[in-house]
Structure 1
Amino acid sequence: MDNGPEFIAKITQQWSEMHQIKFQYTQPGKPTQNAFIERFNGSYRRGVLDKYIFEDINQVREQTMIWLEDYNNIRPHKSLGNMAPVPYAKFNSFEGTL
């Protein structure tokens, strides 16, 4: 868990403890411990937040849903053999093959 300037990590830690989830902070100066989230956040920032000027939160939500649809279902990801995550998961699923 990143303990950034928002100080929401304390609330998240309390929630985690209530639900018996082990809570761990990312060590300062170790962004690679959070590499997948950092990569996603960068993609989201470039694909939505830096791309548009929003007038209200509903516009942010609408563009986010459009971006997520593309990111998860259409856009190829090199790490997944140039497949989008949802088709990749379906292709590699063992459900229904037994």
Structure 2
Amino acid sequence: MPVGERAPLLRPTKANPVWSMDVVFDRTAEGRAIKCLVIVDDATRHEVERAISGHGVARVLDRLAHSRGLPKMIRTDNGKEFCGKAMVAWAHANREQRRQIQPGKPNQNAYVESFNGRRRDECLNEHWFPTLLHARTEIERWRREYNEHRHKKTIGAMTPAAYAQQLANSDIINPGF
């Protein structure tokens, strides 16, 4: 692709072939770091996982592999969580295709960046979390509301959870194996 040429970020027509991942940071009122690993299915806009602890990215992905299978491709930025030896080794061991966006081009990871912006505006910026437990509770409440009660025009005015279920019922989900 020539320099400067734009290509659309195509949304997959099946659930699970492409996930976008990012990390969002915040702080509690007591100054403790809040670090959220966010994984979004590009097709359904469903938040696949939200980890808010010190678990490594590879451990979270291993857990997801057992519960729903892995995608064919994972798109990330160039953060240290995604470029380190552990993640590279995990991807190689699982034959997982990784796509890292160009530095300074968050629009190349638009699905998860849009999700993170919405979460920041509607949840993180709206709450002053006294503790990590309070942060976990509020972030999980917001995640459920987003996945189960928000209708998206781009997926037929369905909620991400309902759309993912419709694809599962249609035997369209490709677990990536």
Matched, 1:32 2:122: no
Q: 1:51 to 1:90 in 2, by over 3 A?
A: same
- The amino acid of 2:170's aligned partner reads F
Q: Identity of aligned pairs, percent?
A: 32
Preserved contact between residue 48 and residue 63 of structure 1 (Cα < 8 Å): yes
Deviates most, 47-56 or 24-33: 24-33
* Cα distance in 1 for residues equivalent to 2:124 and 2:89: 30
Preserved contact between residue 77 and residue 106 of structure 2 (Cα < 8 Å): no
* Cα distance in 2 for residues equivalent to 1:90 and 1:3: 32
Where does the alignment leave 5 or more consecutive residues of structure 2 unmatched? 1-75, 172-177
Secondary structure of 1:23 counterpart: strand
Pairing 1:16-95 to 2, within 5 Å after superposition: 16-91=91-166, 93-94=169-170
Secondary structure of 1:32 counterpart: helix
- Normalised to the residue count of structure 2, the TM-score between the two structures is 0.46
Preserved contact between residue 73 and residue 85 of structure 1 (Cα < 8 Å): yes
Higher helix share: 1
CA RMSD of superposed structures (Å): 2.0
Q: 1:90 to 1:17 in 2, by over 3 A?
A: closer
* Cα distance in 1 for residues equivalent to 2:114 and 2:152: 12
Instruction: Report the Cα offset of residue 84 of structure 1.
Output: 1.0
Equivalenced residue count is: 93
* Cα distance in 2 for residues equivalent to 1:17 and 1:51: 40
Higher strand share: 2
Bigger Rg over Cα = 1
Instruction: Report the Cα offset of residue 81 of structure 1.
Output: 2.9
Where does the alignment leave 5 or more consecutive residues of structure 1 unmatched? none
- Normalised to the residue count of structure 1, the TM-score between the two structures is 0.77
* Cα distance in 2 for residues equivalent to 1:22 and 1:81: 29
